[in-house]
Structure 1
Amino acid sequence: MTSAETSTDTPHIVICTTGGTITASTTSDGAVIAGDSDPATAAMLDQLRSVLPGEIRVSARAVLDADSSTFGPAEWDLLVDAVSDVLADPDVTGVVVTHGTDTLEETAIALDLHHDDPRPVALTGAQRPADHPEADGPANLLDAVLLAADPVSRDLGVLVVLGRAILQARGVRKWHTTDPVAFARNSPDHPVEGLPPELERPTLTGRARFADVRVDVVACPPGSDATALHACVSAGARGLVLEGSGSGNLPPEVAGAVAQLAEERPDLVVVATSRVPRGEATATYGGHGGGAELATRGVLSAGYLRSGQARVLLAALLSTTDGAGADAAADVRRQWDRYHLYS
C-alpha cells in the first residue's frame, strides 16, 4: 500500500461494502438475512451523506455482499487487494470497510499486517439489522467515516469502530453476541517500555495469499485426545493453532501428539493459545502439556492473540516465507515474536 500524503482540506473517504448485519433485513419469521443488500446500502449511504459535514466527501465500492460468517482466506485476500487498490489513489484520505461482526477480527488483522500506509482504515458494522427500530449501523458508520477523515487517526493502522469504541486491530476480538459494544481488545494492563504498544505494529515484508495456506484451529478442552489434530495434519495443514486452557496449556494426549509431530514433521508450525478471554498465553508452566514444556518442542505462544487472529498471522507468515519444509517452518518460528501482539 502506498504512503502517499493526502490533503485534509476536503477529505475523501471510500467505503468498501461487504454486506453483513449493517445492511441486513429481517424476515417475517424473525430471521436476519445478509446479502442482496443493494437497496439497504444505497439507503445507508443516503442517510450518511445527510448528516456528514459538508467538507467530507464519501464514495462507495462494493467488494462483497454476504454474511461474514461465510468469509474465509479467499475473502481476506480479496479485501486486502481492494483496500490496497483504493489507497493507490493519492486523493483518498482514508478507507472505511463495512463488515459483518462474526469474522471482523480476522479481516482486521489480515488488513493490518499489510497496512504500511499512514492513512487510516476503519472497520465497522452493526449488531442490529438495518430495519431494526434501534439500528446501530448508521451511528457506527458515521463514527467510522469521521474517524477516517480525522488527521489524528493517521499512522495508527487498521481501527475497529463499533458502539462508540475505537480499537486497534491486533488483539481485538468479538466479546459479545448481541451487545452494541461488540468488541474488546486483549492487551497488557500496563504499556511496555519504549513506544506505546499500539504503535508497535510491524507489517509483512511481502503480500500474503491466505487462500494458498492451510492453517487449522483445534479446540483442546480438558481430557481431549489428538483425533482432531491428526485429522487436520492429514488434511494438509501447514500450521496448527491449538486452543488450550490457562496460559496455553494442553491436555496430555494432545501434548504427546505434539511431541511426536515435533520429531516427525519439523515442517509443521504449532501455536498455542488460550480459551481464556483475557490475558497472555505464555510458556510458563512446566510438566507434560505445560507451556514451558511445549516451548522445548518448538511450540509458539500466541501472546495476546486468540485463535482467530493467531490463525491469520500464522497463515500470513507461512505464505510470505520463501520455500517450504523444515527450513521455512524454522524461519516462521524466528519471525513469530516480531509480529504477535506485544512480544
Structure 2
Amino acid sequence: MNLAYIPSPAHGVVHLGPIPLRGYAFCIIIGVFVAVWYGNKRWIARGGTAGTVADIAVWAVPFGLIGGRLYHVITDYELYFTNGKDWVGAFKIWQGGLGIWGAIALGALGAWIGCRRRGIALPAYADAIAPGIAFAQAIGRWGNWFNQELYGKPTTLPWGLKIDPSHRPDATPNVATYHPTFLYESLWCIGVALLVIWADRRFKLGHGRAFALYVAAYTVGRFWIEYMRVDDAHHIAGLRLNDWTSMIVFAAAVLYMVLSARRRPGREETVEPVAAGAPAAVAGDAEDTGKDVTPGEAADGDLTGEAGSEAETGAGEPARAGAEEHAAAAQEQSPTAANPSS
C-alpha cells in the first residue's frame, strides 16, 4: 500500500437536476477562455485591436474541436467501428478523446479563415496566441484526471495516481497507482508557454516563429510522456503512433523556424491593417487642420500637440513683430498715411 498518492475524483460528472456538469468539458472551456484572454493581451501589445483574437477564435475553436475529435476517431477507429462497438460513441466527445494534432491542424484552418476575413496574416496571429494555447492544454489535461484516463505505467512513487478498479488496464487489475501522465503533460505545457514568452521577448520572434517554437517544444515533451502511457494505441516499429507524429511535427517546426528566420528576419511592424480608433482620429485631425497627420504623430497625443503649439507660438512672435515694423515704415513714407484728412 502506498502511503502517498494522488486521488482520482469519484465522479467525472455532477448532475444539477437534469443537467450534467462534466469536469472534462469544464477543463476544455476554461482552457479556451484562458487562451483567448491571454492571446488578446499579446495581440494588443503587438499593436492589434482588442477583440480581434476572440473574433477569429469563433472560427478556430469549433474547427479545432472537430479536428481533435476526428484525429482521435480515425486513429482509434477500432473503439467505434469494429464488431460489438457502438459507432454512436464517436460523437460522445464528453467521454474524452481529443487529438491535439487534429485540433491544431483544423484549428489553424479555422483561424486562417477568420484572419482572411479581417485581412490579417495568420503567422502573426499564431505568434500571439501560441503561449495561450499551451496554457489551455495545461488546463485541458486535467479533464483526463476527471475521466481517469490516459495515465502511465504502474508506479509506487508518492505522486502516483490512484485509479479505480473499473478504469484500470486489463493487464494490471490489481495495481492501484500509475504515473499521472496528465499531470506531467500539464506541467510541461506550462513550461512551454513560459519558454515561448521568454524567447519572444528576448529575440523578438515574428512571422510564425513563436508558434513554431511552441510546437517544437511541446512535441519534445509529448514524445517521452506518450512513451509512458499504457492506453491502447497503434504501434509502428515499436513506437506509438503519436511518438512518430511528434518526431515528424518537431522536424517540420524546426525547419520552419530556420527557413523563416532566413527569409523574413525580425518581427512584423504591423499585425493588423486598422489599429483601434486610430484611423478616425487621424482622418479627423487631417481634415480639420488641412495637413497630413501620420499615425505616429497621432499616437504621440498631447505631447505632439504641446510641441506643435510651442512651435506655432515661437514662429508667430517674430512674424507679428516684422509685420508691425513694416507697417510703421510705410506710414512714415506715405503722406496720405501721415495726414488722413487731406
> Shorter-chain-normalised TM-score: which range?
under 0.3
When Rg is computed on C-alpha atoms for both structures, the one with the higher figure is: 2
RCO higher in structure (CA 8 A, sep ≥6): 2
Question: With structure 1 as the length reference, what TM-score do the two structures score?
Answer: 0.27
Question: With structure 2 as the length reference, what TM-score do the two structures score?
Answer: 0.27
Structure that is richer in strand per residue = 1
Structure that is richer in helix per residue = 2
